[in-house]
Amino acid sequence: MPTYQGMHGTYTIIEPCRASGGEGEIFNIRGKKNLVLKRLSDRHRTTSRLKKLEAMISAGVPPALLDQMTWPVDIVYEGGQFVGYVMPALHNTEDLNVIYSDKYKLKLEDYITIAMNLCVPLDGLHQLGQYVGDGNPENICIDPKNLTVTLVDTDSYTVTDRASGRIYPCVVGLGPYLAPEVQAVMNQNHGLINVPADTFNEYTDRFWLAVHIFALLMNGAHPFAVRQGSQTNMPHMSAGQSSVNLPQPNENICRGFFPHTMHQAGLDIPVYCPRFDYLPVSVQNLFIRAFVDGHSNPSVRPSAREWFAELGRMKASLVSGTHCRKHQHQYPSSAGFCPWCELGTRTVPKQVNNAGAGNGRYQAGMQGGGNGRSRRRTGCLSLLGTLLGILISIAVLLAVPVACTANMMDIHRSEEAARQEANKQKIEELRQEMQNSQQEEPAPYESGMQADGSWTHPHDNRVLQVADTAYHNLSASVSDAMPEVEFGLEPGFDGIYYLQTMDSDQQLCVRLYDDTGFCVASYVSEENGDGVFVELKADHMYRLKVERRFADTGNFQIRWWLQKQTEDITNYGAVRDSIDFNNQENCYLFRCSASKEYRFCFTEAAEELRLKIYIYDSNWNRITSAIDVTQGFGPYAELQAGQNYYIKVSAYGCGDYTLDVQQTG
């Protein structure tokens, strides 16, 4: 079996390949079931591709984020020549298009959970200053059993080299998921190959994120999809006529026409799409920011974190039975009606070609099928009818005074102005309602977190108290006279450190150099708490350079934290620890003494903490996980006696927590 040399070891592939495509082949690796090797074809083994992969590996992606993306973890060579890379393997997943279909019978709470889980890796990626670019649903994979999300095809992302600042752009994209500003630049440059390297950014990612969240909440409907309305002056469509005369999602994206808050004569929302007002007002407002306000000002589009919090509130508000006793559908308590039962009462106007609706889900590029001969026969009859209609229309027009035509045009203008004014008024009413509404706190992520039965501590009630994270502060200021500042760093211990900007009102560019002058880490600080992980060696001198990005002046602090060591909690009933900085991960070793079901429950947690916990076996295969966990909750897992397990805890927010280790009684 072929063996390849990587930067972190050797890899022996198992033939034949598990998948192949235009770029190369993907192989399983002997002894590493959670990794695969992608062997590129000769024409894709370019210097630019190699440099981009090197930039990705040096991006400092934390282990928890690697569990949610097929991000490259090693580059492989054969005879000293670059041939491909190693990345995490996928198991038992479906792409998002399949989830939009009816293959899996999911509830609304399941779709909300998927939407929340999609926000998590995207937020982590944005914190590293990296961007997806192409929001193609085929590159978003879902585990239909536990609803976790994995982002794939990451080597097509827009990647910034932290050392050199060079941007390796995304050059692929699917129209219905491209932000209007991207499509405008693409049209000017005749495709994505020639667009500026920084075309894709966090705000363009926020656009396609909102598109997918909308589809997950709205029965698979694309937010910019339309159909021919039942009351329309548009030309009648025959049964065999394509619906391409209607504006396609791409066109509506480019002109900023969001059909759920705007109206146009002859157009309506898809028949399989529920009413927009079934959503909580706060969620409606986020979509308006993403698709209406964000059309001219992309920076106002909601971030992944905003979506995560608001979706959590929506999930906590779900009810069933009040307005839907027959089917027990789920919907927000604020709706006042069952949107899914209402869908069942809708009928498609006969003149509307519903080809492409399929199973009730929007899919880009789908058109009507059918028998070719019947289409031609219907087309001939339609042509005769059309010619007859034209002759009658000419006769009528000759008989009508020109003044009537002018009068009708004035009426049409008045109606259109009234519709536009109504659109503006509706959007303002939604914003006002959002400001006046009081929102409940989001419920914790519930999947796989509760179990019946009695619980006891596996050993005793002793609590391991972990010391707070060690850190050092560096303070200075930037001004016109001193636009950049340098510090000397000399770590006292080998380990992983986190560099973080504190108490700063300006945007800063932070770079860390080793004693040879090589840049080992860099990041752009746009707000307090931004930072980056870096591995440092004791008794080595490092040079930290901080410079302002714009003409801002003021004070700042750079805090550098030493990541905690793995703590052995085997002989303890609980561990009391803390999250002290963004992206911190606390790791614990647990040696299982009895084959039983265990629960890892957060018995105490700071109110502002939204905890994430991952349980791994001794080979770092993930057994279970839970996100957005609060006090009183935690996942459970079947563990085997004599085996070692690793527990990783991270969080949104900072604060103290106590993790209780319990087993069935």
pLDDT, tens only, 499-532: 888 777 777 888 888 888 877 787 777 777 777 7
How far from chain centre, in Å, is Cα 212? 9
Give me the count of residues in the chain.
Answer: 665
* Residues 501 and 529 grouped into a single domain: yes
* Residues 50 and 178 grouped into a single domain: no
**Res. 445: pLDDT tops 90:** no
Which tokens is 272 given? 């399989």
Q: Is the peptide bond before 249 cis (omega within 30 degrees of 0)?
A: no
Sign of the dihedral defined by the CA atoms of residues 40, 42, 44, 47, in that order: positive
List, for residues 121-150, the tens digit of each pLDDT value.
999 999 999 999 999 999 999 999 999 999
Element (H, E) at 295: helix 294-296
HSE, side-chain direction, 13 A CA sphere, residue 208: 29
Query: What is the gyration radius of the CA atoms in the chain, in angstroms?
Result: 28
* Residues 556 and 617 grouped into a single domain: no
List, for residues 334-385, the tens digit of each pLDDT value.
888 889 888 876 543 332 222 233 333 333 322 223 333 333 333 333 444 4
Which tokens is 602 given? 């957060």
Whether this prediction's pTM lies above 0.75 is answered by: no
Confidence of residue 275 (pLDDT cuts 50, 70, 90): very high
Residues paired with residue 59 on neighbouring β-strands, in sequence order: none
Q: Tell me what the mean pLDDT of segment 287-311 comes to.
A: 94
Domain membership flag for residue 441: no
For residue 606, the domain's CATH number is 2.60.120.380
* Domain coverage including residue 20: 3-88
Residues paired with residue 495 on neighbouring β-strands, in sequence order: 536
| Whole-number Cα distances in Å, 131 to 95, 156, 163, 375, 521 | 20, 10, 17, 45, 18
Domain membership flag for residue 250: yes
Q: Tell me what the mean pLDDT of segment 163-175 comes to.
A: 91
Domain membership flag for residue 394: no
Domain membership flag for residue 577: yes
Which tokens is 38 given? 């992608």
| Rounded Cα–Cα distance for residues 23 and 25 (Å) | 7
**Res. 329: pLDDT tops 70:** yes
* Residues 598 and 645 grouped into a single domain: yes
* Residues 270 and 131 grouped into a single domain: yes
* Residues 125 and 191 grouped into a single domain: yes
DSSP letters spanning 4-70: EEETTEEEEEEEEEEEE-SSEEEEEETTEEEEEEEEE-GGG--HHHHHHHHHHHTT---HHHHTTB-
Q: Are 141 and 94 a contacting pair, CB within 8 Å?
A: yes
Domain membership flag for residue 215: yes
* Residues 271 and 148 grouped into a single domain: yes
Domain membership flag for residue 358: no
Looking at 310, 344, 378, the residue that finishes a domain is 344
pLDDT higher at 385 or 609: 609
List, for residues 104-114, the tens digit of each pLDDT value.
889 999 999 99
* Residues 138 and 195 grouped into a single domain: yes
| Rounded Cα–Cα distance for residues 364 and 176 (Å) | 7
Place of tokens 């150099």: 513
Between strands 574-579 and 463-465, the pairing is parallel
Listed range (104-118, 275-289, 493-507) with the worst mean pLDDT:
493-507
For residue 521, the domain's CATH number is 2.60.120.510
Domain membership flag for residue 569: yes
| Rounded Cα–Cα distance for residues 201 and 159 (Å) | 10
* Residues 144 and 171 grouped into a single domain: yes
**Res. 264: pLDDT tops 90:** no
Which tokens is 35 given? 């990794």
| Rounded Cα–Cα distance for residues 352 and 373 (Å) | 21
DSSP designation for 492: S
Please count the structural domains in the chain: 4
* Residues 100 and 161 grouped into a single domain: yes
* Residues 48 and 82 grouped into a single domain: yes
Looking at 518, 544, 562, the residue that finishes a domain is 562
How far from chain centre, in Å, is Cα 414? 42
Looking at 532, 562, 592, the residue that finishes a domain is 562
Domain membership flag for residue 411: no
| Rounded Cα–Cα distance for residues 315 and 332 (Å) | 8
* Residues 593 and 544 grouped into a single domain: no
